[in-house]
Amino acid sequence: ETKPVLKIEAGATLVLDNIIFKSGTATLEKESYASLKLLYQSLFDHPKLCISIHGHTDNVGSSADNLHLSSNRAQTIYNYLVKEGVDKKRLQFKGFGEDKPVSTNETSFGRKKNRRVEFLVRGTAF
């Protein structure tokens, strides 16, 4: 049986659409763990791979609150991966708040697209 893994290469940015947080918090919804396990497995299978975890929000609320929330969400993913055994040296995290939208904030669909966590593959650890 072949297990699914993420196709990862240096410089790639991955967005796992089903990493979902409870509204206004950095608490993961249960359905997020399948994707996180897939990410962990990919890191486990490629022990020299390093990633940056980037949190993003929509523009609802204050810029300061959104920056704080996005950072906390990125750190939640970081903490999960470290707890599972990924070396901290292989991971970085940062929140960008509402500063890097990928869609409009004028529609609920656009705001949902902007509320995301991205994983930037930085290459391999030495």
- In angstroms, the CA 73 to CA 51 distance is 15
* Model confidence pLDDT, tens digit, residues 43-81: 998 888 999 999 999 999 999 999 999 999 999 999 999
Q: Beta-carbon neighbour count of residue 21 at 10 Å?
A: 20
Looking at the whole model, is its pTM more than 0.85? yes
Mean pLDDT over the full length of the chain: 90
Average pLDDT over residues 69-94: 97
- CA angle 24/25/27 to nearest 5° reads 145
Confidence (pLDDT) at 5: 58
- In angstroms, the CA 124 to CA 126 distance is 7
Where residue 126 falls among pLDDT bands split at 50, 70, 90? Answer: very low
- In angstroms, the CA 60 to CA 105 distance is 8
